[in-house]
Amino acid sequence: RANRLAHWLVERGAGPERLVAVRVPRSVDLLVAVYAVVKSGAAYVPLDTDLPEDRVRHVLDSARPLLVLEEGLPDVSGYPEGDPVRELVPDHAAYVIYTSGSTGGPKGVPVAHRSIMNRIRWGLDHFDVGVEDRVLLSTSASFDVSVPELFAPLQVGAAVVVSRPDGRRDPAYLAELIQRERVTGADFVPSLLSAFVAEPLAKQCTSLRWIEVAGEAFPAELANRFTELLPGCSANNLYGPTEASVEVTGWEHVPGSDRLPIGAPIWNTQVYVLDAMLRPVPPGVAGDFYLAGAGLARGYLGQTPLTAQRFVACPWGAPGTRMYRTGDVARWNEDGQVEYLGRSDFQVKVRGFRIELGEVEAALTAHPGVGGAVVVVREDRAGDQRLVGYAVPAGGNDPSALDTAALTESVRERLPEYMVPSAIVPLAAFPMTPSGKLDRGALPAPGRTEAPQGRGPRTPDEEVLCRLFADLLGVDEVGVDADFFDQGGHSLLATRLVGRIRTEFDVDVKVTTVFRNPTVAQLADRIRKLTRSSRPRLRQMTVEENRR
């Protein structure tokens, strides 16, 4: 199918240095579409099917693809089954992935075949992937972690196990899928791994040989919990940005260790920890983290000034060698491994998603009622990171008159769900330092207003759900009409809610149930229907049957 579709694409002009957008849900058709684009010689531009139309338009206007492949691929039954003959070189683009941008829109990162193949071949060798392996494809194609999931297994005859489109939101489903399909390799972000480890079925996922953990800081405590649960599986901490072809360093966790570095460079890769004058710093001293080598992307599509700012000349390589300024802070430890210390700018990762705070701020200020906006990541409760927006009304208007619900909807129309602030706080003015700079540390914690939440619980089930909502959201009371996500909930909190519901009600609720029924009243009604349908049906017995 992929070869036939590739011929179809070639007939329509696809070839080297041309772009084809792919907007297909995670499925076998996604693999067919992506492989077809690459076989045609073109580069694919992945688009999530649930992205807001405004963001889709931005990507399409930037990438200007030749075609867009969508769900329901064209009928290509009349085209040849063999590989199309294309003249490709290693430096031709393989894909373009859009990451969050600080100037109000996502930026495209073209990655060459040479660069991504370096990462893929390293991974196949490092994890000893072979024909007996079964690798989970659960990451959205819009994120670069999906690229090794899509391409690496089939290169060595291993199987790809495709999760359902919303599978990554549901750790119980992932545990069941891994156990049922005997998956041997999988990728997690730490926040998802934490929820997965808490699933009762996770301990039965003994087929796992390795997991790759990336996207956020990976706590050693979590790595130890995982390796205690599944001692036959290695937990590997990987690090890398989209601009360096997925990952550039790796470290296999030593069970029982209380430290978890991001490790050493992969094949054909160099990493540097430098001071402000681009001089190497000694071990133990924090510095700016730079990357060089085969994995570097070309830069940013159509953004020459930004490319020159982030991809700079490397003083230690041959003439023309570049290195990438990550914006991360790191240090070498005494064992010669790199330790990640955090960000030096306003790019953040929340639950594994890379977010430029400036892009969220731009979406807030696009609303006509907002004169200025600031977005920060808050952790008012241990382990619960969330985006919080602060908005000053336009024209000096009263901040209490700002409709935060409408403002949230306005942001939701422009950005993916993971970039929408969980709370928006109206302010008369932003706090400033004595020198006149924004004082981010003085921004107030978002409050909760109980009145708009409506009615109190009316049934025992609603009382239990109100208690669960309040406990997870960190508030005193929740009414039956309160929306879990409007009150600060997010996908990982939803997974914890589902686990608590299963324990309290002994009913099989999925994370998607919470997304579709986000209020206490709706959830209680849904649980009541599930409980009723799960009861065994009783048949009235005849007198003769009763005597037996």
Q: 452 pLDDT band (50/70/90 cuts)?
A: very low
- The angle that helices 2-11 and 28-39 make with each other, rounded to 10 degrees, is 50
Q: pLDDT confidence of 545, banded at 50, 70, 90?
A: very low
CB atoms within 10 A of CB 537: 5
Task: Note the pLDDT of residue 102.
Answer: 59
Task: For residue 100, list its beta bridge partners.
Answer: none
Which residue has tokens 């373009």? 96
Contact 26, 140 (CB under 8 A): yes
To the nearest whole percent, how much of the chain has pLDDT over 90? 57
- 538, exposed or middle or buried, with CB in 10 Å at 0-12, 13-18, 19+? exposed
* pLDDT surpasses 90 at 423: no
Q: How many CA atoms lie within 13 A of 524 on its CB side?
A: 21
Predicted confidence (pLDDT) at residue 144 exceeds the cutoff of 70: yes
Letter for the amino acid at 144?
D
Q: How confident is the model at residue 483 (pLDDT cuts 50, 70, 90)?
A: confident
Average pLDDT of span 103-119: 91
Task: Report which residue type is found at 20.
Answer: V
- In which band, very low, low, confident or very high, does the pLDDT at 538 lie, cut at 50, 70 and 90? very low
Q: What is the mean pLDDT of residues 386-411?
A: 87
Q: Give the neighbor-by-neighbor strand order of the sheet with 234-239.
A: 159-162, 134-137, 185-188, 210-213, 234-239, 249-252, 264-265
Report CA dihedral (60, 63, 68, 70) to the nearest 10 degrees. Answer: -70
Mean pLDDT confidence for 300-311: 96
In the block, tokens 């190497």 appear at 280
- Examine the pLDDT at 447 and tell me if it is beyond 90: no
Question: Residue 338: pLDDT above 80?
Answer: yes
CB-based burial label for 85 (10 Å; 0-12, 13-18, 19+): exposed
Range of weakest confidence among 60-74, 105-119, 333-347, 442-456: 442-456
Phi first, then psi: what are they for 237, rounded to 5°? Answer: -90, 110
Contact indicator for 106, 100 with CB cutoff of 8 Å = yes
Model pLDDT, residue 539: 46
- For residue 488, name the pLDDT band (cuts at 50, 70, 90): confident
More confident residue, 148 or 526: 148
Alpha carbon dihedral 336, 266, 184, 260, in 10-degree steps, equals 20
Q: Which domains does the chain have, with CATH numbers?
A: 1-88 (3.40.50.980), 113-294+304-337 (3.40.50.12780), 353-434 (3.30.300.30), 460-529 (1.10.1200.10)
Over residues 221-268, the pLDDT tens digits come to 899 999 999 999 999 999 999 999 999 999 999 999 988 999 999 999
Segment 444-452 shows an average pLDDT of 60
Tens-digit pLDDT profile for residues 24-46: 999 999 999 999 999 999 999 99
Q: What is the total residue count of the chain?
A: 548
Specify the pLDDT at position 103: 57
Q: How confident is the model at residue 275 (pLDDT cuts 50, 70, 90)?
A: very high
Per-residue pLDDT reduced to its tens digit, 57-77:
999 999 999 999 999 999 999
> How high does pLDDT run on average in the chain?
89
Pick the more confident residue, 44 or 469: 44
- pTM for the model stands at 0.76
- Quickly count helices (H) and strands (E) in the chain: 16, 22
